[in-house]
Amino acid sequence: MPETKERTELGELRIANEVVGVIAGLAATEVEGVAGMSGGLAGGIAEMLGRRNLSKGVKVEVGEEQAAIDLFVIVEYGVRIPDVAWKIQENVKRAIEGMTGLDVVEVNIHVQGVNFPQPEERVEEQPRVR
Amino acid sequence: MNWLEKLVILLVSLLLLAGGVGLFAFMLGWQGRPLFAWLLSLQDAQIEGAVLGAALLLGGLYLLAMFFKNGREVQAIVQETELGQVEVSLKAVANLVQRAAREIPGIRDLTPVIKVEPEGLDIRVVVQVVPERSIPALAAQVQSQIRDYLTETIGCPVHRVMVEVRDVRPEPKAKID
C-alpha cells in the first residue's frame, strides 16, 4: 500500500494513502450542499457488496511532504456550485494539513452530478375503493 | 446518442453475441454444420454476402469514428481557483438545464445538448410545448431562465441558448381527480 513516511525522534511515522483519502472524503461530505461522493463503477460494486468505502470518489497523490487531491462529488440541487466547491477545497485542505502535516497543494473538484429532492410522498394513501 | 448510433450498436452487438455463442459452442464440441453450411451458401449468393460484408465493414468504421469523435469532445466546464480546479460535468449541467426549464409553465418536455465554446456555454434545447401559448414568448422565457440559472449556479458565462420547438402536445390528463 503506498504511504507517506515521516521521521520523528523516536522513529518513523507512516500514513497510508488510503487514510489521506478517507480524511478527504469525510471532510468533503460534511460540507453543506454536498449530496455525496461519486465513486464510479468500482465504488458502486463495493457498496453493493456491503462494504462502506469512506474514500469513495477520492483520488490522492501523496509525496514526501505534499499531497494533491481529486474529489468526485454530487451536489444538492439549488446550491451555487463555485461556493460549494470552494468550501470543499478549504475544508479538505484544512483537514488533511491538520491531521497529517502534509502540505496540500491542489484540491481539484469534479462535479459529476446534481441530486434533486424527491417529491414528497403522500402522507396517507387514499383507498381506491369504498 | 441518436437512433442511427443506437441501431449500429445494436446490430454489431447482436453479431458479436452470435459469434461469441457460436465460438463457445464450437469449443465445447459443437460441429457447427449449420453455420458452415450457411457460410458456404454465401459463396453462391455473392451479392448477399458482399452486402453483409459491406454492412459489417461500415458498422465497424462508424463505431470507430464515434469513438474518436466522443474522445475529442470537451466533457466538462473547468474553472481555476487558488486551490485547484473545479470541473462540472456536462451531464450535471444538462440536469440543471432540464430542471430550470421544466419549471416554466407550458414546457412539456426538454432535451438539452451542451457544448463548451471559448466564449461560454453553447446550449441547444429541443422542447415540446403545450398548445395555446405564444411560442416566441415561451422560447424567450426558456432562454432567459436557462442563462440566468446557469450563470448563478455554475458561475460560467452562457454564450448562446438555441431553442428548437420540436412538437406541440397537450398535457396528459389525469385519469383520476
- Cell triple for B90: 456536462
- What is the DSSP-derived secondary structure letter of residue A117? P
Strands B76-81 and B84-89: antiparallel
* Number of CB atoms found within 10 A of residue B32's CB: 14
Confidence of residue B108 (pLDDT cuts 50, 70, 90): confident
Cα angle B120-B122-B124, degrees, rounded to a multiple of 5: 160
ipTM score of complex? 0.74
CA atoms of B77 and B115, how far apart (whole Å): 9
Sheet (strand B120-129) strand order:
B107-117, B120-129, B158-168
Determine, for residues A110 and B95 on separate chains, whether the beta-carbon distance falls below 8 Å. Answer: no
**pLDDT per position as a tens digit, A104-116:** 999 999 999 999 8
Helices and strands (H and E) in chain A: how many? 3, 6
**pLDDT per position as a tens digit, A4-30:** 666 677 788 878 888 999 999 999 999
SS3 A104: strand
Closest CA relative to residue A13, chosen from A65, A55, A69? A65
Tell me which amino acid residue A10 is: L
At a CB cut-off of 8 Å and minimum separation 6, what does A96 contact?
A: A20, A23, A24, A27, A67, A69, A102, A104
Determine, for residues A110 and B92 on separate chains, whether the beta-carbon distance falls below 8 Å. Answer: no
Question: Does residue A72 register a pLDDT over 90?
Answer: yes
A102 touches chain B (CB under 8 A): no
SS3 B125: strand
Determine, for residues B87 and A114 on separate chains, whether the beta-carbon distance falls below 8 Å. Answer: no
What is the pLDDT at residue A4?
64
Place of cell 466538462: B76
Question: Does residue A126 register a pLDDT over 80?
Answer: no
Phi, psi for B162 (deg, rounded to 5): -100, 130
Question: Which of A31-40, A86-95, B161-170 has the highest average model confidence (pLDDT)?
Answer: A86-95
CA atoms of B59 and B36, how far apart (whole Å): 23
Minimal C-alpha gap between A71 and chain B (Å)? 10
Question: Which of B31-35, B52-56, B143-147 has the highest average model confidence (pLDDT)?
Answer: B143-147
Q: Structure pTM?
A: 0.66
Confidence of residue B1 (pLDDT cuts 50, 70, 90): low
At a CB cut-off of 8 Å and minimum separation 6, what does B23 contact?
A: none
- What is the DSSP-derived secondary structure letter of residue B177? -
CA atoms of A102 and A104, how far apart (whole Å): 6
Confidence of residue A40 (pLDDT cuts 50, 70, 90): low
Place of cell 412539456: B108
In chain B, which residues have their Cβ closer than 8 Å to the Cβ of A116? 95, 99
In chain A, which residues have their Cβ closer than 8 Å to the Cβ of B81? 82, 85-86, 89
